[in-house]
Amino acid sequence: MAHYTYRLYCQRIDKTRNMARYYALSIQQTLFGEAAVMRCWGRIGKPGGEKCEVFDTEAEAAAHFLQLARKKRLKGYRPVGNCENPASSAAFDTLPQ
């Protein structure tokens, strides 16, 4: 299934607004061979929300993953760490605005 590793962890911190948020994205294979886009978000250090969206193909899931990453970048989220894949955070910086 997975031809590439899709993982992204980013944060948005604004001390003047007491804002410290995180957003994590990944694509994982389901038990039935479908591709699922997993999202986790919330305040840094606290439990947050989770959502899972299932797609028939990895290509559909990857397109949705990139769309979500673009939206978060426009809102001010920036990648932190490498999520075990150095290309993931570098790819986030090259997304069109």
Phi/psi at 19 (nearest 5 deg)? -110, 125
Fold of 7-85: q64v53_bacfr protein fold (2.20.140)
DSSP-assigned beta bridge partners for residue 79: 10
Strands 7-14 and 49-55: unpaired
Q: Is the dihedral of CA 60, 38, 51, 19 positive or negative?
A: negative
Taking only the tens of pLDDT, the chain with its 97 residues reads 556 678 999 999 999 999 999 999 999 999 998 999 999 999 999 989 999 999 999 999 999 999 999 999 999 999 997 654 433 344 444 444 4
Domain parsing of the chain, residue ranges: 7-85
**AA identity, residue 10:** C
